[in-house]
Amino acid sequence: MPNIDFSIGIGGAAGQGVATPGNILAKLFARRGLHINAYNAYQSIIRGGHTFLTIRTSREPVRCMGDGLDMLIPLNQDTMDRHLSRMRPGSSVLFDFDKTAIKPDGAKILDRLIVFLKENSDKKVDLEGHTDSVGTDQYNQKLSERRAASVKDYLTQRGVDVSDIVSMAAIAVIDAQQQSLAGHFG
């Protein structure tokens, strides 16, 4: 069984909702029996200042956050500019701004997930779509749903059994003064 060592970075402006997807991903990895290390870098506690969360997961205990990233979830352009250099070869940002088409580099990440699922038939996957806080809550909710559906379609078209996808959730990241929206659908 191959070893898993996967790092995700999520960044944006303070108050933009960096913690919500980070908490969801940490729970997802822990529920799958993986070890995690999460590090929150708050360069600014002033609303609008840059914040960055790194989550590293592995089958073995994770003792540090590491230097490279396999996936970057930038909630603004500043995050992309600051952290793109940390991306490892073959790593990716899944979606362009306001889009649902999976980017070619994002497909490589999903292809790794497909191999993992085929080698570990006892494992299941929870899919979640995320957005930034630009746009209305309703628009972002629909965009989140379309992104999760896009990933589901990608996986099932490449042989992942639909029964291996135990749930899909759409999470629209909105202003910190409001609560995150979470809509589950089939």
Q: Report, as an integer, the average pLDDT of 153-172.
A: 74
* pLDDT exceeds 60 at position 181: no
DSSP labels, the chain = -PPPEEEEEEEEETTS-SHHHHHHHHHHHHHTT-EEEEEEEES--STTSEEEEEEEEESS---S--S-EEEEEESSHHHHHHHGGGEEEEEE----TT--SPPHHHHHHHHHHHHHHHH-TT--EEEEEE--S-S-HHHHHHHHHHHHHHHHHHHHHTT--GGGEEEEEEEE---TTSPPEEEEE-
Residues 6+ apart with CB under 8 A from 138: none
> What tokens appear for 48 in the block?
């609008």
* pLDDT exceeds 70 at position 55: yes
Which residues constitute the domain of residue 33?
Answer: 5-185
Predicted pLDDT of residue 114: 82
* pLDDT exceeds 60 at position 132: yes
- In degrees and rounded to multiples of 5, residue 115 shows phi and psi of -60, -45
With bands split at pLDDT 50, 70 and 90, how would you rate the model's confidence at 5? confident
Q: How many domains does the chain have?
A: 1
Q: Report, as an integer, the average pLDDT of 78-84.
A: 81
Which range has the top average pLDDT, 57-61, 63-67, 116-120, 143-147? 57-61
Q: Which residue has the higher pLDDT, 161 or 1?
A: 161
Q: What are the pLDDT digits (tens) for 86-124? A: 877 666 556 666 778 887 767 777 887 788 778 777 777
CATH of the domain at 49: 3.30.1330.60
* pLDDT exceeds 60 at position 45: yes
